Amino acid sequence: MISVIIAGFNGAMGQKAVQLVTATPEFQLAGVFNPHVTSRRATDYGLDDAVTVYNDLEQITTPADVWLDFSTPSGVATNAQFAITRRMRPVIGTSGLTEDQQRQLQATANARQLGGIIAPNFGLTAVLMMKFAQQAAAYLKRAEIVEYHHEDKVDAPSGTALNTARLIYEAQRVDEPQPSAELDPLGARGGDYHGIKIHAVRLPGVVADEEVIFGGPGETLTIKQSTTDRQSFMTGVRLAIAAVVQRQDLVIGLENIL
């Protein structure tokens, strides 16, 4: 049985995390934390009486096995540091940690041989897609990425698409070859990352899909990840919790525990 404290328990992701931990027989929800709540009665949040509600880190005198963090960019660094010093393994889904902060947390955790994970994306299929793309890139020299998101996403390309391009480039270490004289008056060839083209589609009816297409003589390989419901992220969180209690180091990116 793995005991868990959830930071940011009443945000959108935090609520899904509470459901996940409660519904998983091997997990036990020991406590929840949010410095901005006033009531400390569990039942006020629809939680079981056995769950302790904290609104100050100093109240946490009984550490859990795992610190699951879906709090805020401003609080996450302090939370993670606190968790590690109390020997609670951090599983961090909150964005906002700088690379410096990440390295520092990693050093602190590793020095104590404490497992942990900081992950920008807990989507299991997204991470598997990136992992496979990196492997395929060693054998197939040409790749393009097409990502599809709902029409309200205003930035393009998606972080996952850009990250996938980066992983492909790291595996190939040379810019992908391009036709020498391309005629493209409208910019239809899309964004470019070291020769890897990225195309962003925005349409209602789509949640979040991404595909990488590799081409070689007479054949193509397509790896496509499709999301129909945001609850998908919880599959990755469950894997992360199970992994950190087995590890003695803190890793960055879900791909490192798959």
Pick from 95, 192, 245, 248: which binds a copy of itself (CB under 8 A)?
Answer: 192
Joined together, the tokens standing for residue 75 give: 């609080």
Asked if 106 and 252 touch (Cβ cutoff 8 Å), the reply is yes
- Which C-beta is closer to a copy of itself: that of 109 or that of 149? 149
Per annotation, catalytic residue among 141, 153, 194, 199: 153
Joined together, the tokens standing for residue 31 give: 């406590």
Catalytic residue list contains 153: yes
169 binding a copy of itself? (CB under 8 A)? no
Closest separation in Å from C-beta 102 to a copy of itself: 24
- Which C-beta is closer to a copy of itself: that of 32 or that of 161? 161
155 binding a copy of itself? (CB under 8 A)? yes
171 binding a copy of itself? (CB under 8 A)? no
- Which C-beta is closer to a copy of itself: that of 89 or that of 197? 197
Asked if 66 and 5 touch (Cβ cutoff 8 Å), the reply is yes
Pick from 48, 56, 99, 152: which binds a copy of itself (CB under 8 A)?
Answer: 152
Pick from 14, 157, 163, 255: which binds a copy of itself (CB under 8 A)?
Answer: 157
- Check whether 205 is labelled as a binding-site residue: no
Q: Which residue has tokens 């803190």?
A: 250
Buried b / exposed e along 20-58 (16+ C-beta atoms within 10 A) = bbeebeebbbbbbbbeeeeeeebeebebeeebbbbeebe
Pairing of strands 219-227, 250-252: unpaired
46 binding a copy of itself? (CB under 8 A)? no
Query: Which amino acid makes up residue 205?
Result: G
Per annotation, catalytic residue among 36, 131, 141, 149: 149
Cβ neighbors of 2 (< 8 A, separation 6 or more) are: 26, 27, 28, 65, 66, 241, 242, 245
- Check whether 214 is labelled as a binding-site residue: no
Q: SS3 of 252, please? A: strand
How far is Cα of residue 20 from the mean position of the Cα atoms in its chain?
16
- Check whether 8 is labelled as a binding-site residue: yes
- Check whether 216 is labelled as a binding-site residue: no
221 binding a copy of itself? (CB under 8 A)? yes
189 binding a copy of itself? (CB under 8 A)? yes
- Check whether 249 is labelled as a binding-site residue: no
Catalytic positions, written as ranges: 149, 153
Binding-site positions read 8-13, 49, 93-95, 119-122, 150, 159-160
